[in-house]
Structure 1
Amino acid sequence: MKSSEQQPPAVELEQRRKPVQERSRERVDRILAVAAQLISEKGVDALKTSEIAREAGISLASLYRYFPNKAAVIKAIAERHIEKLDVHIKAFVETLDLESGFDQLIDTYAQFYRTEPGYKEIWSGVEAMPELQALDLGELYDNARDVSEAARARFPEVDPERLWLICVMLPRACGAVLRLAMNLSEEQATGMVDELKLMVKSYLRARLGE
């Protein structure tokens, strides 16, 4: 009888201590800001907790009081990215403006890719980071649920299952194009983002009848 294969130990991903005092919150903010900047400069794979601690001006032991490993730091940065972008997603859900509203949403994500420390590097390689896949899919499906539910009232003639599929597919398609655009010259990237807006709105008009 063959013994069952041993599974690799699960990676601890949760922040160990949630800061309560202002000084502790500032320390965690500093850790994450430094880590995000290092990711922007060197990439995810090159990130080391020892370097984060040194650049943040704290001991490695202090860093480990809050984060058990590099993966937990990356996950915390990714969660902050999501929190910042959720504000714009919620604003879009409230208006469901498929013209200027969608343009603004695409512009927001494009700007995030350009300027938010660590965003391009983390989210461009999320498929290669098992520790972030659940977070990524959870955010995708949560947003798809919220947008598709809001769209049902406006487009009652459209099959709800189709609405949900649209709301899952479009963010993935837009993300792929935006990641490609960020590797081009500024002029080419601007042109590609404009083409993306046209593509999305043309698709929605064809599918939703507007």
Structure 2
Amino acid sequence: MTKYSHSSRSLRRQPKQQRGKERVEKILDAAAAVFDKVGYAAATTHLIAAKAETAIGSVYQFFPDKAAIFKAMELRHIERVKAMWAQANKQKITQLTFRQMIHALVTAVVELFEQPVSRVVFVQFFSSREMFQLIDESMTQEAIDFAASLFKQRNPTLDEAQSSLLAEVCVHSSNAVILAALRNPDEQHRQQLVQQIEELFVSYLEPYMGDNRLDDVMNIMKCPHCRSQQLSKNGHRRGKQCYLCKECGKQFVELAV
């Protein structure tokens, strides 16, 4: 059990109505902006209330102090990360082409850190770890375990140690690049750094789980047009089996590799 298992205690009271939930989100986004601008030490609940354009009493209605606010920000980040992992599994991204899979992963991470709360929590974790109440290194290990499970799904011939090592390198290297990007004030350069994460993953992982590699190792029949494995037999032509791709609807003659 991680130390953020019982996370609902960060709020003084849980908002039940949509209006209350929206107010909490507004306070958390305002806190992220204040922490980002002046730092956690200099931040006050009054500054946060002013940024949220709400009365200080509204802040105290949900949070007793700024530590409780930051704890709620940790929780919000955790929820979003876990939702991102669940969505990746739900969408079965390991069944996409290799490049599409990497793009889907990187895009999901980029979208996560476009949210102010997650961006500030991530940066603060690498600069002021002592202020964290819920998140610790166990979350990094969870990220490694999640990536390893994806890699294992993508290429079942990988053993546990190998998939874990690949995942560890990917998580730590991407964290370093993302941190550099989030700290960079130049928007254009920040985007360039983030874009390189995809190229980094493609170059590093392709020998282990690229489309051609998997075809060679596992002898998988795939559509030559969209690389889908969702095929059905569709008669014969000149003695060869014909197939119909259920994904793109195109036909092709037997192309087993």
Q: Report the counterpart of residue 178 of structure 1 in structure 2.
A: 178
What is the aligned-residue RMSD (CA, Å)?
3.0
Q: Report the counterpart of residue 141 of structure 2 in structure 1.
A: 141
Residues 164-203 of structure 1 aligned to structure 2 (within 5 Å): 164-182=164-182, 183=184, 185-203=186-204
Q: Report the counterpart of residue 13 of structure 2 in structure 1.
A: 17
Q: With structure 2 as the length reference, what TM-score do the two structures score?
A: 0.62
Q: Report the counterpart of residue 217 of structure 2 in structure 1.
A: none
Deviation at 1:73, TM superposition (A): 0.9
AA aligned opposite 2:74: A
State the identity as a percent: 25
AA aligned opposite 1:72: A
How many residues are treated as equivalent by the alignment? 196
Q: Which runs of 5+ in 1 are unaligned?
A: 1-12
- The question of whether the paired residues in 1 share the 8 Å contact of 2:29 and 2:117 is answered with no
The change in CA–CA distance for 1:146 and 1:181 in structure 2 (over 3 A counts) is closer
Higher relative contact order (CA 8 A, sep 6+): 1
Residues 1-210 of structure 1 aligned to structure 2 (within 5 Å): 14-56=10-52, 57-60=54-57, 62-93=58-89, 94-96=92-94, 97=96, 98-113=98-113, 115-127=114-126, 128-132=128-132, 134-182=134-182, 183=184, 185-208=186-209, 210=213
Find the aligned partners of 2:64 and 2:133 in 1 and give their Cα distance: 19
- Name whichever structure is richer in helix by fraction: 1
Find the aligned partners of 1:185 and 1:30 in 2 and give their Cα distance: 26
- The question of whether the paired residues in 2 share the 8 Å contact of 1:43 and 1:121 is answered with no
- Name whichever structure is richer in strand by fraction: 2
The change in CA–CA distance for 1:45 and 1:109 in structure 2 (over 3 A counts) is farther
Q: Which runs of 5+ in 2 are unaligned?
A: 1-8, 214-257
CA deviations on 1:48-99 (whole Å, 9 max, x unpaired) are 1122234442234x53342233122122123323433444333333212442
- The question of whether the paired residues in 2 share the 8 Å contact of 1:39 and 1:118 is answered with no
Find the aligned partners of 1:91 and 1:42 in 2 and give their Cα distance: 34
Max radius of gyration: which structure? Answer: 2
